[in-house]
Amino acid sequence: MKRIISPLSKPLQPILSTFLILMTLLMGACGNAATTEETHDFQALSKEMQTRKLPLLLAFRADYCTYCRQLESEYLIPMLKSPDYNERIIIRSFSLGEVETITDFNGDTVDADVFAAKHGATLTPTLVFLDSTGKAVAEPLLGYNSPDFYGAYLESAIDTAHAAVQ
């Protein structure tokens, strides 16, 4: 069988090669997108919270949860990048199903599912607002299905949590 080569094939090869390389790099960059910092040692985090006199926004999430990814990209990651929040709240995430045990605020090793249930994280995403002892200092935000009023609820919870630890 005779192979037919288009006269355009040769001139397009460098362009196609460059395009494929750029797409590969772009896909790698998308895979490494910023995320919230994961934490499993709440005793160490408690010390940071005490030193900085700041509350914790703990986002309970799951890898399979599309609403979790949407909440992170629309709110949590922009908040992490904004200097406005650096002196108001510490933001961390906790992926349900990722680890079996964690170190709680008292330094005890506890089952991760028990820790999540203690903080009311029975669905994802759930945002809880805690002081350095692990006590809730604002109402949790359960779920995320509409960005319409979520920002106002989030700001209110952050203000309440921040005032509670000052």
- Which pLDDT score is estimated for 36? 83
Q: Using one digit for the tens of pLDDT, what is the confidence trace for 107-137?
A: 999 999 999 999 999 999 999 999 999 999 9
Higher pLDDT, 147 or 16: 147
pLDDT at 26 over 50: no
- Which pLDDT score is estimated for 125? 97
- Total Cβ atoms within 10 A of residue 127: 27
Cα distances from 79 to residues 18, 45, 156, 162, in angstroms, run: 36, 19, 14, 15
Domain ranges of the chain: 42-165
CATH number of 42-165: 3.40.30.10
Distance, CA of 69 to CA of 165 (rounded, Å): 29
pLDDT at 95 over 70: yes
Predicted TM-score of the model (pTM): 0.78
Q: Provide the token pair at 92.
A: 């961390």
pLDDT at 8 over 80: no
